[in-house]
Structure 1
Amino acid sequence: MNKCLFLVLLFVSLSGNAADIKPFPRAKISVEQWQGYFDSVAKEFGETKRVYEEHNLVVFSDDAQRANIAFTTINHPAHPAWVTRYVTQDNESVYVAQIGYFAGEEPPFAKLFKDYAKLNEKVKEHMGLEAWDK
């Protein structure tokens, strides 16, 4: 993904509601859980929807949590899966955190998750933030 895309994915947010960052206890979920969460996010944050056909992703923004939720589309090797990236902080540091879920095969999801972790490192370098993976 290019520099402009990761900045858009991380920082463009329009909504005032909040999504559940960790809706399930484990990363491996069912297709029905994936679809239910996608439907919920699409309903709540539909006005923020951005489609990145070249990356086979649909991204929604949650301004309340400074989060972006990137869902794979049917042609993505990790589909069905999503990665949520959000900005969080403790007393002294600000972090780009991420969490993800998959209902398909784990290896393509792991690659997607690692690709986002690399973007987090670029954001960390660019913005002076810490990167943190769950």
Structure 2
Amino acid sequence: MNRRIKRIELRLTEAEAQFIREKSKGYRSVSQYIRDAVAEFSDTDAKRRLELINELGKLYREYHNELFHLSANLNQVVKRANELAVAGLLSKSYLEKTVIPAVRGIEGTVSAIRSALLDVTKQATLLHRGK
């Protein structure tokens, strides 16, 4: 059995020491918490998973705003098309040249966003499974 007899001195502020004590409450000891934390941090897959989670969060934040603007634009296009149709002013060429291309453009952007999010999610899932 390997006995743990080696010590490493670590200087901390009182706030840092308290933070570590709080975080280590679910462990047998502060030493065990620190050993586990160092092992996990040194794990390259764990680092990559953390990077992917951060990347995914960034994508969600970026695309959330983009989707909000796209939704507002699509709502305006459809509302205007409806107003024109009710008034009998919406011609087939307007529908084909304005409304349909706008809706298709929005669909393409939403599809690209979904694809990007799916790719990152798949990578994170594969790393989580250890593949």
- The two structures have a TM-score, normalised by structure 2, of 0.26
Max radius of gyration: which structure? 2
Higher relative contact order (CA 8 A, sep 6+): 2
- The two structures have a TM-score, normalised by structure 1, of 0.26
Q: Which has the higher helix share?
A: 2
